[in-house]
Amino acid sequence: MFYDDAGFRLFERITTLPEYYPCRTERQLLEEHAENIVMSACGSARRLRIVELGAGSACKTHILLAAALRQGIEVIYMPLDVSADALETACESIAEAFPPVRVLPQVVNYVSAPPQLSPFIGPTLALYLGSSIGNFKPCESRTILRNLGTQLKADDSFLLGTDLVKEESTLIAAYDDSQGVTAAFNLNILMRLNRELGSNFDVNAFRHSVRWNADESRIEMHLQSIRRQVVEIPLAELELHLDKDETIHTENSYKFDDDALRTLLSQTSFRWELMWKDPQQWYALTLSRKAAYA
Ligand code: TRP
């Protein structure tokens, strides 16, 4: 629901906001450790398949592709995403920046079904960046990683980007920026519902509300009704009765610590190998290996 055209544009702006540290922190970590990541994934092989879940515009992937090419490695890049538009943009920019890379995009929903990867001779490096794993409930994230695991060979690598638990005010600010871009991104859902399902949401009768749920270790995004109101959603055959201050819970963003990451990976057929964090320990890149069993 978030990522229609307007939503994509707003999200691009979110990634450049001063309060939204995850994106730039992940980029810095990739820049610093790209050589090492590629070398660990490749071993003595001279070719590498890079598979990326939820590739989106794939702009951070450029860093890894550049590092692989610098090492003289032949690269096959498979971006997977639900959005055909995002994939097209990603493929164009990669074809332009890295002509030697073979790009094999796949429009798939990696949440509802395992991605189908063809057998590959040589190592595969799977990527799941942007802390997108945090937008799923723990049981869903386990399914996503287990499904990914079924498509990998023993010792193939998996690089996971995750946002970490930190001071509440820093977390809240990242999802409630002073320019109101994240608020606009959240409220955009209502405009999309009005357009696509014929609903009559009054966008001005809702406010963006962000909460830290410590028990669940997640940031929650809500749309809070500023008055008692009734909303019709004809194409969903729904009539919503909202009290003043009642909320529509639109999104979660789970935050991790080392223990949670170790457990998540070990429960889903991966062996934790290396972890890189920024000096403030706000964000982590974890490199793990597909276990031989399972
Ligand atoms: N994966 C991103 C995150 O959880 C997505 C995101 C950033 C997001 N800002 C948002 C999702 C605001 C919903 C609303 O950080």
Beta carbons of 51 and 125 less than 8 angstroms apart: yes
Residue 56: the pLDDT is: 79
pLDDT greater at residue 56 or residue 35: 35
Using one digit for the tens of pLDDT, what is the confidence trace for 98-122? 999 999 999 998 888 888 898 899 9
CA of 152 to the centre of ligand 1 (A): 28
Ligand 1 neighbour 15 (Cβ under 6 A): no
pLDDT score, position 267: 96
pTM of the model: 0.95
Residue 50 clears pLDDT 80, i.e. is over it: yes
Tokens 């010792």 — which residue?
155
Alpha-carbon gap, residue 86 to 82, rounded angstroms: 8
Q: What angle do CA 126, 121, 162 make, to 5 degrees?
A: 5
Distance CA 66, CA 281 (A): 26
The predicted structure's pLDDT at residue 86: 83
Q: What pLDDT, in 10s, does the model give residues 191-227? A: 999 999 999 999 999 999 999 999 999 999 999 999 9
- Distance between Cα 253 and ligand 1 center (Å): 7
What is the rounded end-to-end Cα distance, in angstroms, of the chain?
34
Whether 132 lines ligand 1, by a CB cut-off of 6 Å, is yes
Give the CA angle between residues 206, 256, 43 to the nearest 5°.
130
Question: How far does the centroid of ligand 1 lie from the alpha carbon of residue 153, in Å?
Answer: 31
Residue among 171, 145, 133, 129 nearest 28 (CA): 129
Predicted confidence (pLDDT) at residue 33 exceeds the cutoff of 90: yes
